[in-house]
């Protein structure tokens, strides 16, 4: 029997107006905006609906905004009778998966990811860290490039293993620049600097992880009702303690997205529904395995389309 996975995007997918169409037609969806505003003590919803994009893109705003939209979309699908067999999220998106799977409350998640963004923002001063997408190079050779640069005094490592031929590296600005040059010399097709506010998923984020651990200890974490696939280990997260460790390790560890998708396919998933703005994850899934079905839900029209399509399968 075919299975469904809800997948949730991370930072970079945010856009002004995300979720606005859903709240206009669904009172339950609007409640998530209200709960987020109340949990944070400021109007996140106004920022999501009106912008400006520069403010929305700040990591401590983007993280709770993407969480809110992802959970809102997943809940709308569940209200329509579409339940996932598995959930997974890319980086920050993993928290939307946790909420959807019943690991923690929405309000606690909003507060935690806001703090997570603040901790990440404080960990490395602006301009000192960087990330870049390396295209057309396998993980093994690219890891060797990063290790060589790091041995010379800089920090750079694999951060997001997204799909065949697309890997993101992260570290100090100089380290990433040196690794980009070395990767192209070693056969990479392209090295594209990313516009990000910090060196996410690198050793430079360990300070943020220590602070996040304290926050996580103050909230209730329970075993998932719907299995969640781990970014760090690309396997099913079974219990509360393992999930707490995942939340901490994920801050400075690579996101094994390609392995996550392959694991879900191995478990019988044939339909992936991306919950939230953009189509980044759906594109990655198709590059990993073209035989599976992918859908994106981000507004009223796409919600109706996906409900009809999945019910008709």
Sorted by where each starts, the structural domains of the chain and their CATH numbers stand as 3-123+204-311 (3.40.366.10), 129-196 (3.30.70.250)
Q: Which pLDDT belongs to residue 2?
A: 82
Higher pLDDT: 303 or 179? It is 179
pLDDT tens sequence across 54-83: 999 888 999 999 999 999 999 999 999 999
Instruction: Report DSSP state, residue 172.
Output: E
Mark whether 91 is an active-site residue: yes
Tokens found for residue 294: 């992918």
Q: What share of residues in the chain are helix, strand, coil (percent, to 5)?
A: 50, 15, 30
Instruction: Residue 214: count other Cβ atoms within 10 Å of its Cβ.
Output: 11
* Contact predicate 168/133, CB 8 Å: yes
* 20 pLDDT higher than 90: no
> How large is the average pLDDT for residues 177-196?
95
* Contact predicate 276/13, CB 8 Å: yes
> Nearest 5°: CA angle at 111, between 110 and 114?
85
Q: Which pLDDT belongs to residue 200?
A: 95
Catalytic residue (one of 170, 201, 253, 302): 201
* Contact predicate 81/43, CB 8 Å: no
- CA pair distance 96, 224, nearest whole angstrom: 12
Most confident of 13-17, 77-81, 103-107: 103-107
Q: What H or E segment, with its residue span, contains residue 294?
A: strand 293-297
> How large is the average pLDDT for residues 21-25?
75
Tokens found for residue 273: 């529904």
* 207 pLDDT higher than 90: yes
Instruction: Residue 33: count other Cβ atoms within 10 Å of its Cβ.
Output: 22
- CA pair distance 60, 93, nearest whole angstrom: 14
For residue 275, with 0-12 CB atoms within 10 Å meaning exposed, 13-18 middle and 19 or more buried, which class applies? buried
Q: Say whether pTM exceeds 0.85.
A: yes
* Contact predicate 171/265, CB 8 Å: no
* 1 pLDDT higher than 70: no
- CA pair distance 69, 299, nearest whole angstrom: 10
Spell out the alpha helix ranges (H) of 204-239.
206-216
Per DSSP, the three-state class of 91 is coil
Catalytic residue (one of 91, 96, 170, 197): 91
Which residue reads 């969806």 in tokens?
29
| 195: confidence class by pLDDT, cuts 50, 70, 90 | confident
Query: Which residues make Cβ contacts (< 8 Å) with residue 97, sequence separation at least 6?
Result: 6, 7, 8, 87, 88, 89, 228, 229
The two counts, helices (H) then strands (E), for the chain are: 14, 10
> How large is the average pLDDT for residues 245-256?
97
């Amino acid at each position: 029997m075919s299975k469904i996975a809800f997948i949730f995007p991370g930072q970079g997918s945010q856009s002004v107006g995300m979720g606005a169409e859903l709240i206009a037609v669904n009172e339950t969806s609007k409640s998530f905006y209200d709960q987020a505003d109340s949990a944070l003590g400021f109007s996140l919803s106004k920022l999501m609906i009106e912008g400006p994009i520069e403010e929305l893109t700040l990591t401590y705003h983007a993280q709770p905004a993407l969480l809110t939209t992802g959970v809102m979309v997943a809940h709308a699908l569940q209200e329509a009778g579409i339940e996932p067999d598995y959930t997974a999220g890319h980086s920050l998106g993993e928290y939307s998966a946790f909420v959807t799977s019943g690991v923690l409350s929405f309000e606690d998640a909003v507060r935690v990811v806001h703090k997570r963004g603040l901790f990440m923002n404080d960990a490395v001063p602006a301009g000192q860290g960087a990330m870049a997408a390396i295209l057309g190079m396998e993980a093994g050779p690219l890891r060797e490039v990063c290790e060589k640069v790091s041995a010379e005094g800089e920090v750079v490592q694999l951060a997001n293993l997204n799909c065949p031929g697309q890997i993101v590296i992260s570290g100090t600005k100089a380290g990433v620049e040196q690794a980009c040059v070395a990767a192209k010399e070693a056969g990479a097709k392209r090295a594209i600097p990313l516009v990000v506010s910090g060196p996410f998923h690198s050793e430079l984020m360990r300070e943020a992880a220590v602070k996040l651990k304290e926050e996580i200890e103050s909230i209730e974490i329970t075993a998932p009702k719907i299995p969640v696939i781990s970014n760090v280990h690309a396997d099913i997260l079974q219990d509360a303690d393992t999930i707490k460790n995942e939340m901490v390790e994920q801050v400075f560890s690579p996101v094994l997205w390609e392995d996550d998708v392959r694991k879900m396919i191995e478990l019988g998933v044939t339909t992936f529904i991306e919950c939230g703005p953009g189509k980044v994850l759906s594109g990655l899934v198709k590059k990993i395995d073209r035989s599976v079905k992918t859908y994106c839900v981000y507004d009223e029209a796409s919600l109706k389309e996906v409900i009809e399509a999945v019910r008709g399968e």
